Amino acid sequence: RIQIPYHCNVRCDRVNEELVRHMRQTGCSCVTFAIESGNDEYRKTYLNRDMRNNKIIESAALFRKYGIRLRTQNILCLPGQDLEHDIETLDLNIKCKPTMAWASILQPFPNTELAQTAIDLKQWNGNIDNINKGYFDESPLSLPHKRERELLQKLFMLACNSKIVRFFIPILIRIPLFKTYAKLYAWHKKRVYKKLYEAIN
């Protein structure tokens, strides 16, 4: 009734066409939903998110159909996963075609199931002093291909929006240009946020 543009968070397993149509009619201009991991079984077992990749892709397509911009949320450097899992997450995001593919690096907060998983897998010693204040630079876990995965986080959003960058990801994440990638990430993030929220602003 008021027709004020708004942004909201949704869950893919709650999305259907009727809901999306009503959201658009009431002024919804953009939504955020969490993918977290591109692997069905990991997402169900360790993240308590029992939703299949095809449902995630279908939900994203519905929002695009009704002209609602989409921001996805993802977690890289998860315990028990490898670089290939993070690439799998990137590729699922590409299939969803979001305006913004937001990706963070896991921080194992105490008393969470993921923190205990990291301890059980001997990928973290439980020292909370190693937890970073932010989610976008380094992982405190001992992980395979750790540095490449941290570099992927900086390129994740851009790779989702650019076929050329995605093609060269296997090479780019092996080039130690963290500061350069960080600047590129900041530039692209600002640009995409402006596009994501332009209807609200």
In tens, the pLDDT along 65-92 reads: 999 999 999 999 999 999 999 999 999 9
Name the token pair of 189. 């993030």
Name the token pair of 185. 């990430």
Question: Is the CB of residue 130 less than 8 Å from the CB of residue 109?
Answer: no
**What percent of the chain clears pLDDT 70, i.e. is strictly above it?**
99
Work out the pLDDT band at 197, boundaries 50, 70, 90.
confident
How far is the CA of 44 from the CAs of 41, 53, 147, in angstroms? 5, 11, 26
Work out the pLDDT band at 181, boundaries 50, 70, 90.
very high
For residue range 110-138, what is the model confidence (pLDDT) as tens digits? Answer: 999 999 999 999 999 999 988 988 888 89
Sequence-distant (≥ 6) Cβ neighbours of residue 2 within 8 angstroms = 27
Better pLDDT: 108 or 3: 108
Q: What is the mean pLDDT of the chain?
A: 94
Average pLDDT, integer, range 51-77: 96
What was the pLDDT predicted at 155? Answer: 97
What was the pLDDT predicted at 201? Answer: 57
What was the pLDDT predicted at 106? Answer: 96
Query: Do the strands 100-105 and 6-9 form a parallel or antiparallel pair, or are they unpaired?
Result: unpaired
